[in-house]
Chains A and B, each alone.
Chain A
């Protein structure tokens, strides 16, 4: 019970700080260097990545002190990046070389939003990964905190792609700007939902006693 309470507080703290990291990484910090996602997507994404990775690693490591600890995060995250990049290409991301860096950095961002926390918390357990991502049935608050923001980010990126074919000729319609915004927005929404679920519906969050 103690463990659970501590976990809950930790989860909420992590969610809030991760959200702050996303906003800071995509918006505030780049603005300090006069960078903007629309004009310099690659550099902005790099800053966001550094911040995100740092915060994610830090807070989820703190959380994971109470749980099992995975060691192969780096490997899993690069695998996640490759998968995200391939998915983006399959969905129609431009294949020309000028977009390669953007696609890669966007994939890194997606990977750090979705795969990295899971890699830290779940380690190499196939069943856990399957439960969280293939079945979307997280057990417990920590898995909830991994699962919902990750799904939010993926869905947000999916929704974010829809304005791209419109002929408004706005700079943010370029690949990967609106997908990045979508992913960030979805992620933040996911964080909020997680926090709400944590507080409102504690019973469902608790691990099931099968």
Chain B
């Protein structure tokens, strides 16, 4: 039975881990489906009733663009209002800066910064909308929405870095097909979305987030030439500077007013050149933003501040149809008493049908927008209604695709085809239940009513103009369009049930297997009597299998956390849960330490500690020889408890203090870390240390950065040098760490002094060298340490142990001592490298938390080593996992996508690379959990104590101990993190499925699920590294032990 147990356990858990990952993938694919959409480009379909979808089937591919333009106009019956368009996108500009919020004017500095735009608004030459953007509020999906009108599936955010050509039907390709000539200046995302569409372009990269000046200058420098040119019909300007300002300094950055002024000057320049030009073309200027930003300048989530983007239609350039008479009508309806202009709200996608109808091209097929009716009030009534009709047809067709099984839609279609009396069919279909069906029925009814009213309007008084009847048709259309648009945007798509169930089943199965494996290991350990032989330093051994308070609490805590995620606010504020649980566990440990008793430890000695590799290493051969003889004598006694000297009271109090002090330190550092970033969603505005550092004296912040750097570097080097300072390898590693430290401080110095000026190549170069040095150091440590770690001398033992058991015993001692020592050394190097890497990549406010987490890891490892005989192994692993999870939020992360640090993801990169910047973002986000995973390499290593005698005796008596040690110390750290992750993953998956109709499913639960996926990947990677390191080290050490024995024989 000896050989296979460890291997079997490893194989089973490997399979379970793979199953977990596979199940997760399946579930994600099933739960976040790609929305069904209409393929191809829309032509004439738009102009026929949706029920006769395929009655026209001739192709337009060979028709000239000129013919198409005329054809569109003829069939649609509307004349385009404009024949030229300028889209000016100001990345990340919240509408609040221009339009104010809730009837209040924008802050004075914003008002002062944009005088020309404000003048346009108050004089009625511009119409501004709060255009609500759909999450994820990042540039690429927003641009797609602004041009195609479609709201992308949730998973699109995962592909944000990976900008690809927009293949679906969209405004730009419609215009291109109509023969428009286009020019693009600004964010090169446009070029990737629409390759080969622009005749002239100058793309700038959104890549260097720290550059706020050059990036906009590169756009504006072409402006004069382009405004003078007459060969283009569409000009796209995309300014990135404002977003960069936000990322660097938040909404209230001192650079913000200056940037707004610059944008205002651009608007002024364009508008004045348009009004001054004599060309008889109607040009529409649309100033929009793709998304807003939070107070901290981030974006990605679904908060009001992030989704509040701007759509500003500047109409004053329309000379044929001067809009001065347009505005009073709108003003009378919507004007807010406090403001000089009207406040209108819309969705961002509403821009698409509006522009399509204004420019006389078909509405893109998958658009879910509703035309912005206030912009069309100057048109004749029949044209307005015709436009609404086209929009309604288009949305209805989309509804038809979205719910193909809906009875009322089908019946409406068949009714339309047969006769016009369709109301009867509605009623007959009404008893078919279902939530979706009910919504569909309502929409059908609204659509039918609008069509009917329109038809009767057309029949009765086609030529006459009657205000009231027009109003009723108008209202009927809007009554259909608004809910239909919202329903389509919400995207109640059908999920792939097979994927969902099989994914969930796989995850559940894998978790059960992992937990079963843990139980198996536990049983195996206790059945072979190892547990009983583990003595406790200060505490009387608990009798029987009863669990301690900490163990019960830890088990409860796992489930408390998992089930707390059913509450959306506890998902948003998960940092409190982790901090609370971690503090409680520390408190439970303190309580346990308080149980220690000077009187009870008299009978047992401190020296029952486990193996002391260091001391074995340093013992001369002679000593060991003598020692072994001594123990051999001991071993002959059948008495298991060797009486040893008792602890004195001073020693007891000393040990007691040493045990309780780390716990108090963990509590203190934990509280400090909790206070560093407020994190979460609801209380982000409250002060925290990071805000204080940001707003306070920059000298404090930079000093803190350097102090943290020095701390990590010096402590890391000290750890590597201890306990064998004379080895060449250790010295080399320390030199590498030193070089990395110097380079990082140089980088920080450049970054601080450089600020927001030009992009320099030097920091990039330095960052790359740091990456190189750190990975070289890690690999060097990984490869070399097992070969150079000294093994206990063996030569003397051959004579001492004549019998076979002795041989085996010594082999095992060598193996365990060597493996532990090598793992410890490798782990120290890895955590030092990881922390240095984080100090380079993280924002400078996070330097303090990184150092604190490093400190916390060392403290907890010290504590767990010291009390390792008292706790189960799994409790130690769990403690490390929880600290990692708690630290994750201390670095400013939260469960919204907005807190992913995008700025750091480009450090050291000179060109855009999806994989590399994604990897860097992952490294930054999962800094803390990964650090504590690496920390598991450290804690298998025991503490040094002065007494050694009975250590050997302990080993002598443990049957099969090598196998058991391997099982416990090497496989539990692999299996337990995956099992813990599996438990919360399974529970949260069930919660997500249960919550799929919850209001917050897309804004709270789904982002959390993405974080869960990333956390699963992170845990698997940590476990993989542990497994690789331990098996490699074990192999090397056993080879060396074998050679050693060969030599001595």
Contacts and interface: CB of A to CB of B under 8 A. Distances in A.
B594 A90 contact: no
Given A92-B671, A95-B675, A130 B594 contact: yes
Contacts of A96: 687
A164 interface: yes
> Which size class do A's interface residues fall under?
10 to 19
B573 A165 contact: yes
11 contacts: A87-B587, A91-B583, A95-B675, A96-B687, A134-B592, A134-B595, A135-B595, A165-B569, A165-B570, A165-B576, A165-B680
Given A130-B597, A158-B584, 14 more contacts: A90-B671, A91-B580, A92-B580, A92-B583, A92-B674, A96-B687, A130-B595, A133-B591, A134-B591, A161-B580, A165-B573, A165-B576, A165-B680, A166-B569
A166 B570 contact: yes
A89 B569 CA distance: 22
Contact of A166 (B567, B579, B584, B674): B567
Contacts of A165: 569-570, 573, 576-577, 680, 682
A167 interface: yes
Interface in A111-149: 130, 133-135
A161 B581 CA distance: 12
B104 interface: no
CB-CB nearest 9 A-B residue pairs: A165-B573, A134-B594, A167-B569, A90-B667, A166-B569, A165-B576, A134-B595, A91-B583, A167-B682
A103 to B, nearest CB: 13
Interface in A152-179: 158, 161-162, 164-168
A90 B663 CA distance: 12
A95 B689 CA distance: 12
A92 B579 CA distance: 8
A167 B583 CA distance: 23
A134 B588 CA distance: 10
B670 interface: yes
A130 B680 CA distance: 39
A90 B580 contact: no
B668 interface: yes
A90 B595 contact: no
Nearest to A94: B686
B572 interface: yes
Contacts of A95: 675
Interface of B: 564, 567-570, 572-573, 576-577, 579-580, 583-584, 587, 591-592, 594-595, 597, 667-668, 670-671, 674-675, 680, 682, 687
B144 to A, nearest CB: 32
Interface string A76-95: 00000000000101111001
Contact of A89 (B671, B680, B687): B671
A167 B576 CA distance: 13
Nearest to B573: A165
A95 B687 CA distance: 11
A179 B591 CA distance: 21
Nearest to B666: A90
Nearest to A87: B587
Contact of A90 (B576, B583, B592, B597): B583
State the main secondary structure of chain B at its contact with A: helix
A164 B576 contact: yes
A158 B682 CA distance: 22
Contacts of A167: 568-569, 572, 682
Contacts of A168: 569
A22 to B, nearest CB: 24
Contacts of A164: 576
Contacts of B577: 165
Residue from A130, A158, A162 having most chain B Cβ neighbours under 10 A = A162
Contacts of A158: 584
Nearest to A166: B569
A133 B549 CA distance: 12
A92 B576 contact: yes
Residue from A96, A130, A161, A167 having most chain B Cβ neighbours under 10 A = A167
B870 to A, nearest CB: 14
Nearest to B598: A126
Nearest to B680: A165
Contacts of B671: 89-90, 92
Contacts of B591: 133-134
A133 B595 CA distance: 9
Contacts of B675: 95
Contacts of B584: 91, 158
B567 A90 contact: no
Nearest to A135: B595
A168 B670 CA distance: 27
Residue from A135, A162, A165, A167 having most chain B Cβ neighbours under 10 A = A165
B829 to A, nearest CB: 32
A161 to B, nearest CB: 7
Contacts of B592: 134
Contacts of B580: 91-92, 161
Nearest to A90: B667
A167 B264 CA distance: 39
Contacts of B576: 92, 164-165
Contacts of A90: 583, 667-668, 670-671
Contacts of B594: 130, 133-134
Residue from A134, A158, A164 having most chain B Cβ neighbours under 10 A = A134
B691 to A, nearest CB: 13
B196 to A, nearest CB: 49
Contacts of A166: 567, 569-570
Contacts of B667: 90
A207 to B, nearest CB: 20
B1030 to A, nearest CB: 35
Nearest to A165: B573
A135 B670 CA distance: 26
A118 to B, nearest CB: 14
A130 B590 CA distance: 12
A176 B583 CA distance: 18
Nearest to A168: B569
Contacts of B597: 130
Contacts of B567: 166
Nearest to B687: A96
A135 B600 CA distance: 14
Interface in A56-111: 87, 89-92, 95-96
Nearest to B584: A158
A130 B596 CA distance: 9
A148 B597 CA distance: 23
Contacts of A135: 595
A90 B673 CA distance: 11
Nearest to B599: A127
Contacts of B670: 90
A135 to B, nearest CB: 6
A130 B600 CA distance: 13
Interface in A6-60: none
A84 B443 CA distance: 60
Contacts of B680: 165
A162 B560 CA distance: 11
B96 to A, nearest CB: 22
A139 to B, nearest CB: 16
Contacts of A92: 576, 579-580, 583, 671, 674
A162 B667 CA distance: 19
A168 B584 CA distance: 25
A115 to B, nearest CB: 14
Nearest to A158: B584
A145 to B, nearest CB: 21
Nearest to A91: B583
A48 to B, nearest CB: 25
B578 to A, nearest CB: 11
Contacts of A134: 591-592, 594-595
Nearest to B549: A136
B374 to A, nearest CB: 35
A95 B584 CA distance: 19
B57 to A, nearest CB: 54
Contacts of A87: 587
